[in-house]
Amino acid sequence: MSSPMDSSESQLQIRLITKQEINAVPDVPLSVPSSVDCASLNELVNQLLKESKSDFLKPKEFDFLVLGELLRLPLTEHLKEHNISTEITVDVEYVEKTPAPEPQDALLHDDWVSGIQTADKWILTGCYDYSVNLWTTHGKIVTSLKEHTNIVKQVSWLKSGDPSRGFVSVSHDLTGILWEWEPGTDNVKPRIVLRGHERGIDSVGVSQNSQKLATGGWDTNLKIWSAGFDTDDEEPAHKKVRGSKNIITRTPLHTLKGHKENITSIDWVDNHVICTVSMDHTIKFWDAELCGIKSEIVGQKAFLGSSWSPLSNTLLTCSADRHIRLYDPRASEGSVVKNSFTSHSLWVSSVKWSKYDEHLFVSGGYDASVKLWDTRSPRAPLYNLEGHQGQVLAVDWSNNKYLVSGGSDNSMHIFKNIHIM
């Protein structure tokens, strides 16, 4: 069968396929000009939809996957790059295009924003002015907390997506704090102080069952703690009153040694395995039960951030070069680095997977840019999200509706994701 795109130039045979049933067109081979690209394939699919669907209302925007990669070149060039013959019938999968997130708010802090995470309709930020801040996703400040006595480097909710379980902050004052909060109120209490690090804490990660958390920092030690508010097991000597507040001091359950430089990011792979990345150029996987290193990957540069995806069981890292790398630690043949993504012009400081799509992630860099990526398009990001005037230090995508970022321009930016599956 010929397509509506016939021309006198040489032809390619393609088959248009999709997993999105609502957009399915007849599954028959089509002849298309060999110069066919995304724009002309879009026209073709929409024309076929118009002919085959009685409820067709208006054209849609599609992306096209050929050999597992998003098409960004004319189809013949794409096939040549992958050493595929142009004589065969090529399967072209089409998916509705991810629309660009829309800028919603830019919220000013008094200093650099270094930690950020969303849960439901709330955003948590950590700041260089020693504060932990709670915001609504609509840009309203709920409260600003100043219990730390130095830079707050990272913040995390104690249960993903559930702000009622409270949150944790870590600081260069050598402590972490567990905070209790009643969502919707400004009633926030510092309940437990984590003491045990000898230098500033840069990273924190909470286990998937919310029972434990891990911290890392400039003393190169990984420490594991209880994440609960139950203090019955605390030693009486640790039940200290600080000022007028009854704050319990908690010591770590375990201290794991192995890194040689600052631990910059912590991810729990599951409830028993922790992944850390460090400025010592290594990625380490730890057994939190046996308290030892399970495996190690040596990289080329200092790692500044990481994000683990339970959807694909892969790790993203960003480094003190311009590259983001995708690791598959289970790879038994070839390199464990499965792809690299290069578009930032300076160091990449933060990466975060989408929790809802195994292909999408967001990154932030010292070049003042936030980028939205699809792993099937390693050559270039899907979108550059503009707005920051300084280094981007933290990005987050814990709530599918919002991409958030913070940086050295003292601002937090909220981008609304209008593509909700």
Domains delineated in the chain: 11-96 (3.10.20.90), 102-416 (2.130.10.10)
**Tell me, what's the pLDDT at 418?**
76
Residue 252 CA neighbour count, 13 Å, CB half: 20
CB 204 within 8 A of CB 266: yes
pLDDT of residue 2: 46
Q: How confident is the model at residue 245 (pLDDT cuts 50, 70, 90)?
A: low
Q: Are 293 and 282 in contact (CB under 8 A)?
A: no
Cα-based distances in Å from 312 to 87, 95, 173, 364: 34, 19, 36, 21
Supply the pLDDT for residue 234. 63
Whether the per-residue pLDDT at 17 is higher than 60: the answer is yes
What is the per-residue pLDDT for 417? Answer: 87
Residue with tokens 């010592």: 280
Cβ(214)–Cβ(201) below 8 Å = no
Pairing between β-strand 245-250 and β-strand 188-195 as defined by DSSP bridges: parallel
Question: What is the per-residue pLDDT across 225-238, written as a single tens digit (0 to 9) for each?
Answer: 999 998 766 655 45
Token pair 């065969």 is found at 88
pTM above 0.85, yes or no: yes
pLDDT at residue 201, rounded to an integer: 98
Average pLDDT in the chain: 92
Separation CA 147–CA 173 (nearest Å) = 10
d(CA 398, CA 160): 8
Q: What distance in Å separates the CA atoms of residue 138 and residue 55, rounded to the nearest whole number?
A: 36
